[in-house]
A and B are shown apart, each in its own frame.
Chain A
Amino acid sequence: MRHDHLISAKQLSRGDIEGVLDRAAEIAADPGAFAEAHPDTLLGLLFFEPSTRTKMSFGAAMKRLGGGTIDMGSVDSSSVQKGESLADTVRVIEGYADALVLRHPSEGSAKLASEFVDVPVINAGDGAGQHPTQTLLDLHTIRENAGLDDLTIGIVGDLKYGRTVHSLAHALTNFGATQHFISPESLRLPRGVRYDLREAGAEVREHADIEAVVDRLDVLYVTRIQRERFPDENEYRQVAGEYRVDVDLLESAAPGLTVMHPLPRVDEIAPEVDETDHATYFEQAHNGVPVRMALLDQIL
């Protein structure tokens, strides 16, 4: 792949993606073979928002390649609290690390950071923007379970602010997937994402109900609808109830349907679904380590 930075899924060609996924499969098959692949390499973790799994999985990936991590710590305890700009923070920390992993609450933050440093910047989530490494592990999970060719996927939930959705939808255009976007009216895909999908030749099929499409899906990708996106509790409760995935809903699904979720989930998927063969979200989360190992191995 050899990009200097990984900012957006828009950068990734089909060949780039397959390169990472092939390497991830090799790593998953024999992790020990890569244990000394990047000794003396330090990965800088800059998480301006709380994150447990993304940060831990980057940390685990780097250590399993023989390297180490340095961590900015939480925002409260860092100099950011004192009003330092992101541009200054990354210029200081690039002197300590061989690559930077950035999570930040503002859209465009990873791109801005990449303009100020020479080490590779990996976007681990920029506000409601992009989350390309989540997409790589999502694609790995889809490839292992449903296959990436002739895929029909339904993406449901908060499509407006969901950065995992924005990245995944774009990456899937490389594989000609049939994508159905299911959300309440107020949380439909933003204009910029629609524009990119159409530019990439994809058709944007939108629905208000999961029931309308669930029977024809290979993959159902569920995302969280957050309380703070709604003016009042009642409206939120109603919408959250409508988009809840449970065993009743899945009765009309194909037996081989793969249900995914970037986690953490709250109420979007009923716990009873965990016991079905559809549930793939924990496997998906575990794929974070080999996929991030593969990515780091290619970038560093």
Chain B
Amino acid sequence: MTDTELRVSKIESGTVIDHIAGGQALNVLAILGIDGTSGEEVSVGMNVPSDRLGRKDIVKVEGRELSQDEVDVLSLIAPAATINIVREFEVADKRRVTRPDTVGGVLSCPNANCITTESEPVDSRFDVLEEGVRCAYCGTIVRESIASYIGTA
């Protein structure tokens, strides 16, 4: 165990998301829909020194194992993240972040005139492009600050 890891408490079972670009930890929580209201124990380390990233963030969520779909959504804001699933204090599984073809219900469309921003019975859906994402309904492309569109309108 390194010094860095000690800064964030060890978890018994759950998920450790490491190598998040510095400053993105809260966006990672937001994109996963973790806001503390459902009682998960969450530890966050921000801007800790990293050989690979200079500064990185770490998120540990006790009692919740992320699914591959949830992990893939992270590729939008934390493409370098590594995910360890922990059971009884041991790393039981490692998940890799892969780019999904589409993400549903995670981002809201920045186009105020998009039908998905009205009270229609659909989730937002974005196609993932080489660079950025694109609303599957109105075609609006988002490349910058994707994290600011997290959440449903």
A contact set with B: CB distance below 8 Å:
85-87, 104-109, 111-112, 115, 126-129, 190-193, 195-196
CB distance from A189 to the nearest CB of B (A): 12
CB-nearest residue of chain A to B131: A195
Complex-state Cα separation, A287 to B137, whole angstroms: 29
A107 touches B138 (CB 8 A): yes
CB distance from A93 to the nearest CB of B (A): 16
Contact bitstring B108-135, A, C-beta under 8 A = 1, else 0: 0001011110111110000001000011
With A106-B114, A107-B111 as given contacts, are A129 and B139 in contact (CB-CB < 8 Å)? Answer: yes
A108 touches B114 (CB 8 A): yes
A112 touches B115 (CB 8 A): yes
Q: Is B141 an interface residue (CB 8 A)?
A: yes
**Given A87-B120, A106-B114, A191-B141, 9 extra CB contacts under 8 A:** A85-B120, A107-B114, A107-B137, A107-B139, A126-B115, A129-B138, A192-B138, A192-B141, A195-B129
A106 touches B122 (CB 8 A): no
Complex-state Cα separation, A108 to B116, whole angstroms: 8
A interface, by DSSP: helix, strand, loop or mixed?
Answer: mixed
Choose among B111, B122, B134, B138 the residue with the greatest number of A CB atoms under 10 Å from its CB.
Answer: B138
Complex-state Cα separation, A192 to B126, whole angstroms: 13
Q: Which 6 A-B pairs have the closest CB atoms?
A: A108-B137, A107-B138, A192-B139, A108-B138, A108-B115, A106-B115
Complex-state Cα separation, A193 to B140, whole angstroms: 9
B interface, by DSSP: helix, strand, loop or mixed?
Answer: loop
B141 touches A111 (CB 8 A): no
Q: With a CB–CB cut-off of 8 A, which chain B residues contact A112?
A: 115-116, 120, 122, 137
CB-nearest residue of chain B to A110: B115
Q: With a CB–CB cut-off of 8 A, which chain A residues contact B114?
A: 106-108
7 A-B residue pairs with Cβ-Cβ distance under 8 Å, sorted by A, are: A105-B113, A106-B114, A107-B139, A108-B116, A127-B113, A192-B138, A196-B139
CB-nearest residue of chain B to A104: B115
A108 touches B135 (CB 8 A): yes
Complex-state Cα separation, A87 to B122, whole angstroms: 9
B window 136-153: CB within 8 A of A: 136-141
Q: With a CB–CB cut-off of 8 A, which chain A residues contact B111?
A: 107
B121 touches A87 (CB 8 A): yes
B113 touches A115 (CB 8 A): no
CB distance from B93 to the nearest CB of A (A): 36
Q: With a CB–CB cut-off of 8 A, which chain B residues contact A85?
A: 118-121
Complex-state Cα separation, A194 to B119, whole angstroms: 29
Q: Which of B115, B140, B141 contacts A109 (CB 8 A)?
A: B115
Complex-state Cα separation, A112 to B111, whole angstroms: 15
Complex-state Cα separation, A87 to B141, whole angstroms: 24
Complex-state Cα separation, A108 to B135, whole angstroms: 9
CB distance from B120 to the nearest CB of A (A): 5
A192 touches B122 (CB 8 A): no
Q: With a CB–CB cut-off of 8 A, which chain B residues contact A107?
A: 111, 113-115, 137-140
B141 touches A195 (CB 8 A): yes
Complex-state Cα separation, A126 to B137, whole angstroms: 10
Complex-state Cα separation, A190 to B129, whole angstroms: 16
Complex-state Cα separation, A104 to B111, whole angstroms: 15
Choose among A104, A112, A128 the residue with the greatest number of B CB atoms under 10 Å from its CB.
Answer: A112
CB-nearest residue of chain B to A105: B113
Q: With a CB–CB cut-off of 8 A, which chain A residues contact B140?
A: 107, 190-192
CB distance from B150 to the nearest CB of A (A): 20
Contact bitstring B82-123, A, C-beta under 8 A = 1, else 0: 000000000000000000000000000001011110111110
CB distance from B5 to the nearest CB of A (A): 42
CB-nearest residue of chain B to A8: B139
CB distance from A88 to the nearest CB of B (A): 8
CB-nearest residue of chain A to B139: A192
Complex-state Cα separation, A53 to B136, whole angstroms: 29
Q: With a CB–CB cut-off of 8 A, which chain B residues contact A193?
A: 139
